[in-house]
Amino acid sequence: MLYLTDRSVNIRRISMPLEKTKNIEALGIDKKQRILEAALKVFAQKSYHGASMSNIAQLAGVSKGLIYNYFTNKEALVKELLLENFKHFFDSYDFDFDNIGDKEMVSFIEQSFFLLDEHPESWKLLFGLSMQTEILEIITPELMTFFEPLLIGFTKYFASKGYKDSEAETKFFWALMDGISLDYLTMGLDREYCINRMKQIYQLD
């Protein structure tokens, strides 16, 4: 809705056609998405500190000032870029992390690779970006707010399977998944082979 004030100081309410409103909203979302996609590429190429808002604006095809309509600074931009993508990744799993059993472990391993296959080039850049030390310092505190429940759930699972140090095994499991996922994206590892080997390691056949 738009509001205009006439000379008699009476406020007149002017309704915009619904379809036009939707188009304007979609245009805003499209520009924000272009900015995020451009930022991902620029951060990956130049590193976080080496990248500038001007670089991102140029690649996105928007003005530098427009970026600040969506993001207060570069830190806010990189936070949304990474946290929203990782949150989407973890929210995609269709089971309760408080009650992980063998069935859920198999589902987690299989789904992880299928999710990576949805946008492999984007995930390749996101993995590389998230490993930059300066970016880890920015996102780790907030990343842990939704990552910690997963760690607790997997620690409980490994304890139930008889691992003496279930917390260490959880860290090893995540390190293993991270490493395999990265090589899967960059080296073209076979998906079924990766899934089956992970299932063999944790005796999930």
H/E stretch holding 142 reads: helix 133-160
Q: Which CATH class is domain 73-205?
A: mainly alpha
What is the average per-residue pLDDT within 83-96?
80
First-last CA distance in the chain: 58
CATH for 17-71? 1.10.10.60
Q: Phi/psi of residue 140, each to 5°?
A: -55, -50
How is residue 165 annotated by DSSP? T
Q: Is residue 109 within 8 Å of 198, Cβ to Cβ?
A: yes
pLDDT at 196 over 50: yes
Q: Which amino acid is at 5?
A: T
Q: Return the pLDDT at 3.
A: 28
- Taking only the tens place, the pLDDT of each residue in 5-37 is 333 333 233 333 434 434 434 444 588 989 999
Where along the chain do its domains lie? Answer: 17-71, 73-205
Task: Give the separation between CA 76 and CA 118, rounded to whole angstroms.
Answer: 26
How is residue 15 annotated by DSSP? P
